[in-house]
Amino acid sequence: MKDIEESRARLKGIFNITVTPFAEDGAVDKAGIARTVERMIGLGYDGLLIGGTYGEFPAMTGEERAGLFRHVMDVVGDRVPVMLCTAGSDARLVSELTTLAGEIGGIPMVTAPYVSEVTDDQIAAFFEEIAPKSKTGFLVYNAPGIGITLSPALLERLSDIPGAVAVKQGDLNVTAIDRIANRLSGKLKLFCASDLAFLGPMMAGFDGISSTNSCALPELILDSYRALERGDAAGARDLHRLWYEFRALARAFGQPQTTKAAMNLRGFDGGHVRPPLRDVSLAEKTEIAKVLQTLAGEPAAKLALAA
């Protein structure tokens, strides 16, 4: 990416939320994440999201996050657009990472500053101050998981800030989705933040989705998205139903640890999680393996398991 207009043009489709594989000693496995990136690009994913909430950025230092950004952009080049999560509670770090993200050709993804009792006016002022830092624009991540949910009215206000190119919507309330799809479509690119329930937002007119589980089930989730993209809603529904049991485990065991465990079972580079998260237990891993084995026996899933 070189500027805001290119960001607006290229932000669409299915983006893999790439997990950050950590070695047993906690170090970032740069070779492992490079292999994941190459797998996703090779399969035909439209873009990547690096260092997000499921990339465990809160457990990383600013220096580690900057190093991860540079490494991935060196691997990707300009082959696909890359969202680089620059979120944080310290506005100074967010500013530094946002500037870096734009300079190296990524698109910074920013949440509201997650501090207690922050007001809508303060959130808007924060985004207005961050916006000029990036030459490639910025993406607003509405992430209820941080304890702050941006209302559709506030998202409309943020959409007027110069440099705003997209919203990644994590609040899947149908009323919010309906308003956003009908008030912001065409003004900003709209992404559904959850692969657990992306069919509705896409049918409402969103431009794309981001998917963590695609690290573990890249073929199946890509096929489901492509079916919907070409107008085969029934096919997309049927493919999405195939991996319901995996989604249920992800909700029960937590993310990204469930996806990482499944990746490791498939011979991919899931690695470990960092504290305060914990890797799944042996019993949980056994349940995940059973679901994967069931999917491997389902022709439409096309999964290969590691020996």
Per CATH, the number for 4-233 is: 3.20.20.70
pTM: 0.96
Sign of CA dihedral 104, 212, 120, 167: positive
pLDDT tens-place string over residues 236-294: 999 999 999 999 999 999 999 999 999 999 999 999 999 999 999 999 999 999 999 99
The predicted pLDDT at position 115 comes to: 87
Task: Give Rg (Cα) of the chain.
Answer: 18
The predicted pLDDT at position 302 comes to: 73
φ, ψ for residue 55, nearest 5 deg: -85, 5
Residues 6+ apart with CB under 8 A from 27: none
The predicted pLDDT at position 307 comes to: 57
Beta bridge partners of 22: 28, 272
The predicted pLDDT at position 301 comes to: 83
Rounded distance between C-alpha atoms, residue 198 and residue 240, angstroms: 9
Return the beta strands (E) in the chain as ranges: 13-18, 47-50, 82-85, 107-110, 138-142, 164-169, 189-192, 208-211
Residues 6+ apart with CB under 8 A from 186: none
| CA torsion angle 113 116 118 123 (round to 10) | 10
The predicted pLDDT at position 114 comes to: 86
Q: Beta-carbon neighbour count of residue 26 at 10 Å?
A: 11
Beta bridge partners of 141: 168
Which residue numbers in the chain have pLDDT < 50? none
Helix (H) or strand (E) holding 117: none
The predicted pLDDT at position 222 comes to: 97
Sequence spans of domains, the chain: 4-233
DSSP letter (8 states) at residue 147: T
